[in-house]
Structure 1
Amino acid sequence: MIRTVSAAGALAVALCAGSAQAAVTVIGGGMAEACSDAAIGGESDIKFQQLCTDALDSEFLNARDRAGTLVNRGVLKLRRGTYPEATRDFDQAVKLQPGMGEAYVNRGAASIGQRRYADSLPDINKGLELGLLEPAKAYYNRALAYEGLEDAKSAYFDYQKALEMQPEWAAPREQLARFSVSRR
């Protein structure tokens, strides 16, 4: 018995829903924490991006918080569609904290935003390997990449995994509604 999976609808529908971004919590007060709150809170206004830049330029941050602030600024840039700029932030974060999975997953999301689906997979897989606070977002992003590569079966299973990990999240459920599964 062979299972086939096909997506009903175009990948453009999935990309309009956007990739999922994984922000990093930075505590201790100040601009870096406000930057973290903005990234976690779903903000996209450029003023929050500037807040992150100001934190990086003027606050004393340990390596983890500096890398986290770079990830958070990158997330804000992702939301604004400035993918190359976001990628530079994620690259810097990886150099500072090579064990921070969120930096890799978000760099993968930037590749997806640029329709460089194959390029996104090693980063997303590395982020999953390292561990994440919100792995469902990585599975969702990897599903988007697989759809871009026209691998509907892998996309389906990753959307399923994302929904299994975070059942209250509507985005993977909405994507799964486009699929039909048949047994042959």
Structure 2
Amino acid sequence: MKTRLFTGACLALAIAATATPTSRAAVSVIGGGLASDCYQAVEFRRVSPQKSLEICNMALSYESLSRRNRAATYVNRGILHMREARFDRALTDFERSLGLEPALLEAKVNLGAALYNLSRFEEALAALNEGVGAEDVNARATGFYNRGLTHERLGDLQSAYWDYRTALDTNPAFTDAARQLERFTVVERQG
């Protein structure tokens, strides 16, 4: 019987501890207006983080948005908070989004990232287990990558390896996942 043995570099857990989950799962908004501008500010980073936040705040305060667009705008504003290391605020926005649209899996991916950064690893894992089912390829790949980081923090190197592998298979251009995989050696042994 063959078994696979997964080993990381000596500093695998230390390196993983310095890696942070990404918030790449911006959610598009249907139609124009400030909510669409908020999405574009998050996705394309053409304006400063402060200006992006102002746009998202105005969209949430002044525009009449559908439930889905309001939920998407909360996700997008939460991503801005994540980028500025305001993890509690990001968490609040992702939770608000899910309160409006519980099936918005991009919000679950980002919720998992916020929980990870708040050292709430078990909760992060639960959110990411759902988030990896996102239809959007980038969101799904990010979910697997973030779940890999979470598995590593929880000491499950084998699951971490497979999540990084799946993230890279899902999005072959995902260099963060490729870097994580470089740290692993897979050894097959008999017995």
**Percentage identity across aligned positions?**
40
Pick from 32, 36, 39: which aligns with 2:35? 32
Correspondence for 2:4: 3
Q: Shift of the alpha carbon at 1:30? A: 1.9
Question: Displacement, 1:14?
Answer: 3.6
**After TM superposition, which residue ranges in structure 1, 4 or more long, deviate above 4 angstroms?**
none
Equivalent in the alignment of 1:160: 165
- Between stretches 142-151 and 29-38, larger displacement belongs to 29-38
Is the contact made by 1:17 and 1:171 (CA closer than 8 Å) also made in structure 2? Answer: no
User: How far apart in 1 are the matches of 2:121 and 2:54?
Assistant: 29
The alpha-carbon deviation at position 4 of structure 1 amounts to: 1.4
Secondary structure (helix, strand or coil) at the match of 1:65 reads helix
Deviation at 1:109, TM superposition (A): 0.5
| C-alpha displacement of 1:56 | 0.1
Q: How does 1:1-184 map to 2 (within 5 A)?
A: 1-8=2-9, 9-14=11-16, 16-21=18-23, 22-42=25-45, 45-129=49-133, 131-133=134-136, 134=138, 135-184=140-189
Q: Distance in 1 between matches of 2:18 and 2:51?
A: 24
RMSD: 1.7
- Secondary structure of 1:3's counterpart equals strand
Output one character per residue of 1:84-142: Cα deviation in whole Å (capped at 9) or x when no partner. 1101001110010111001111100001112222111111112234x331311110010
1: distance between equivalents of 2:92 and 2:49? Answer: 19
**1:38/1:11 CA distance change after superposition, 3 Å:** farther
Shift of 1:42: 4.8
Q: What TM-score results when the alignment is normalised by the length of structure 1? A: 0.92
In the alignment, the residues of structure 2 paired with residue 100 and residue 169 of structure 1 have an alpha-carbon distance, to the nearest angstrom, of 22
Q: Secondary structure at the match of 1:2?
A: strand
Paired with 1:127 and 1:109, the residues of 2 have a C-alpha distance of 10
How many pairs are equivalent? Answer: 183
Displacement after TM superposition at 1:12 (Å): 4.7
* Cα distance, 1:155 vs structure 2: 0.3
Structure 1: stretches of 5+ with no match in the other structure: none
Task: Output the CA distance in 2 between the equivalents of 1:46 and 1:18.
Answer: 22
> For the Cα contact (< 8 Å) 2:13–2:152, is it kept in 1?
yes
Whichever residue aligns with residue 174 of structure 1, its letter is R
TM-score with structure 2 length normalisation?
A: 0.89
